[in-house]
A and B are shown apart, each in its own frame.
Chain A
Amino acid sequence: MPGSAKPISVLGSQVDAERGRIRAQFEAGSTAKATLRALCELADNTLRQTFGDMMKVHETPGDGLSLLALGGYGRQMLFPYSDLDILFLFENQKSEEEFRPLIAEFSRTMWDLGFRVSSAGRTIDECKRIEEDNAEFHLALLDRRFLAGDQELFEKLDKRILPPSEKQARPFLFSQLHRLTKERLARYGNTIFHLEPNVKEAPGGLRDYQAAFWLRQILGDRRDLRGSSAADEEIAADAVEFQSSIRCLLHYANARNDNTLTYEMQEEAAKRSLAARDGVPRDAAEWMRLYFRHARTLNRQLLRYLDQRINMPLSLRERLFSAARSVARSEPAPSGAHFAIRHGQFEILDQPALADRSIVYHLFTEAARTGTPLSRDAERTIAYVLSHPELHAINQAMGWETLKEILAADYPGMALRPMQRLGILMDVLPEFRVIDSLVVRDFYHRYTVDEHSLRTIEHLQALAEPPDARGAQFAPLWKMQERRDLLVFALLLHDTGKGMPVENHVQGSLRSLASAASRLGLTPEEEAEVRFLIEHHLDMSATVQRRDIFDPATVSGFAATVATLERLQRLCLLTYADIHAVNPEALTPWKAPQPRHRPPARFRRSVAAHTGPGGGRRRGPGRNRAVP
């Protein structure tokens, strides 16, 4: 019958059957890429069928209306419970009025067929204008793909209208995407190491890949990016397949667009060896190490693109100001220098010199001393040198004196982070290897054990300029600390026992200390101080939270343990950092150790009574003073 459409009941059954088939293939081991393509094809075919039927029924050729796929759907990456991002493109306002009832009917039909349509409507003139408060729409438009309707209208948009306006809008799109990405990464603590990561939104997730893809498009055909684009796609391909497999699993298991890789789903993924090509059976913790490796790939790629700059037309005043600022942020390199600060980051000037590892270690020491980060290029250069054994290396071992200098500096995290990323931290401190990307299931912790340890150190270094009123209470303790290196060293090792098959992780961490101290050559006094901190790193929070701190017996017991004011101060700082690094909400006012609340007179007398005859001074690292 002319103008008749396939009954929705028939089409609905066909769509459901095809969805079932795609899912069955995924469960049987089909790749994520194939699954996403199949789902996209199903959506495309259904949409075209429905749209075509509607046009026939309403006896309209559809001139002046195009359907476009945007965003993930435009890129043909459609997950089982994702929205279909669609744009209804109109020739003009008149077309919009004419097609409005038809579009409403079309949307209802697609919803009834189980597709989650997320649609927008624009005239072609409206597409020329950049909406400054709707950057997400313009970014999604970068992935436009014709679906159905007036192809000429689409070609006009795609080839004639958008290219010049997108070129002109590049600085705006770059700055908006930069801002949105930074905000998103910050919401997740700027780390990939979450215990139950969101595989779409968290750092290292699929949004990182999407953002990097967009940044490449926005940055355009730049010579320095041209070659890397193909290489980046190849490197990212495995990681994208891995993350996509997880997202498909989560969607099917949850029957909704829920992208959190919970502990239960980690177990399930490990049991299936999901996306692990080598077929080696793994437990959940080991499988998560694979996850973090792929997450790191996507995140690093994104961060490299975020560091790029886009040329914006500047006024003369802006050019002069920018030049002056650039000079202020750069330091002239002394002759013979191997690295220098450019635009507020360390850059390598002499790559071959890095074969002498002492130069690399000197760079880390300077980063820790000045608080200046290494640029991504600098890290890549170091990684290149490290991975090429034919570049004959000298002075490879980092001794305790050098490590101590880094740990005692004002910004140890500035060195330890790149050292961890480059694998140098684990060369210097193999004891740290057992907690690399380690997921330990814990209701309170948000991060992996290694990430938690590094965050404790960063929370301490932030006390130089306290971020909040609570930090301001601890800042004086940090500023007066002698032998910060021992405190920071204790924080590096304090949870390594969690990566060992021991009942009490503190005992495991003490074993790590014994091994590290012997190898690095700590003095007996230094080792004793670090041992104390590791052994008692849970005592203060346990005492404050679970005991009556105004009970003389509690006070005496704790005083007997710490014995000196210096140890009390170090333990206080360690406890502050440890709780703060569990997760951002962990350090509630109730939990924060309150140095001012110590029962003054009785506590001090108690501590003094335990410091030896006459309450005299103890010798050891730093000046351990007895409490008067």
Chain B
Amino acid sequence: MMKLEAIIQPSRFESVKDALREVGIEGMTVTEVRGHGRQKGHTEVYRGREYTVDLLPKIKLEMVLPDKLVNTVVDTILKTAKTGKIGDGKIFLSRVDEAIRIRNEERGESAL
């Protein structure tokens, strides 16, 4: 099992959500976050103070996936979240040791 976290542009969220549903992903956690990358949140034609680091609104998606779905979900997010501009975001993958359904204590991939 893998945990996938994706930071994406808010404007791409609806497209990403719809596309993920189409590939069979139904469970995810969505958070409104703020952040920046190496460009410090500055646009190409920036007019603010150089040493200001701007935190821009983003959407964070989190989901735990069976291994066989990981590549599909990554490809889906890459296709639908990309605008080609700076600020598109990132995807992080990490291994998950166990998942447990609280209601009936089901474990493993069947708990997803």
Contacts and interface: CB of A to CB of B under 8 A. Distances in A.
Interface of A: 85, 88, 96, 100, 103-104, 106-108, 111, 116-122, 133-134, 136-137, 140
B38 interface: yes
| A-B complex: 6 closest residue pairs judged by Cβ atoms | A121-B45, A107-B44, A103-B44, A104-B44, A134-B49, A120-B46
A121 B85 contact: no
Contact of A133 (B38, B45, B49, B84): B49
29 contacts: A96-B45, A100-B44, A100-B45, A103-B44, A104-B85, A108-B86, A111-B38, A111-B39, A111-B86, A116-B38, A118-B39, A118-B40, A118-B42, A118-B50, A119-B42, A119-B46, A120-B46, A120-B50, A121-B44, A121-B45, A121-B46, A122-B47, A134-B48, A134-B49, A134-B50, A136-B49, A136-B51, A137-B49, A140-B50
A134 B104 CA distance: 59
A107 B37 CA distance: 14
Contact of A120 (B39, B47, B84, B85): B47
Contacts of B49: 133-134, 136-137
Given A108-B86, A118-B39, 9 more contacts: A85-B50, A100-B44, A107-B86, A118-B42, A119-B42, A121-B45, A121-B47, A136-B49, A136-B51
Contacts of A117: 39
Interface in B67-96: 84-86
Contacts of A122: 47
A108 B85 CA distance: 7
B26 to A, nearest CB: 35
A88, A120, A136 interface centre (most CB from chain B within 10 Å): A120
B80 to A, nearest CB: 20
Contacts of B86: 104, 107-108, 111
Contacts of B39: 111, 117-118
Contacts of A96: 45
Contacts of A136: 49-51
Nearest to B50: A136
Interface string B30-63: 0000000011101011111111000000000000
Contacts of A120: 45-47, 50
A116 B86 CA distance: 13
Contacts of B47: 120-122
A120 B46 CA distance: 4
Contacts of A133: 49
Nearest to B46: A120
A529 B49 CA distance: 57
A136 B49 CA distance: 7
Contacts of B84: 108
A134 B45 CA distance: 16
B43 to A, nearest CB: 8
Given A108-B85, A111-B86, A137 B44 contact: no
B77 to A, nearest CB: 20
Contacts of B48: 134
A130 to B, nearest CB: 14
Contacts of A108: 84-86
A139 to B, nearest CB: 10
A104 B51 CA distance: 21
Contacts of A88: 44-45
Nearest to A100: B45
A88 B44 CA distance: 9
A136 B52 CA distance: 11
B64 to A, nearest CB: 32
B86 to A, nearest CB: 6
Contacts of B50: 85, 118, 120, 134, 136-137, 140
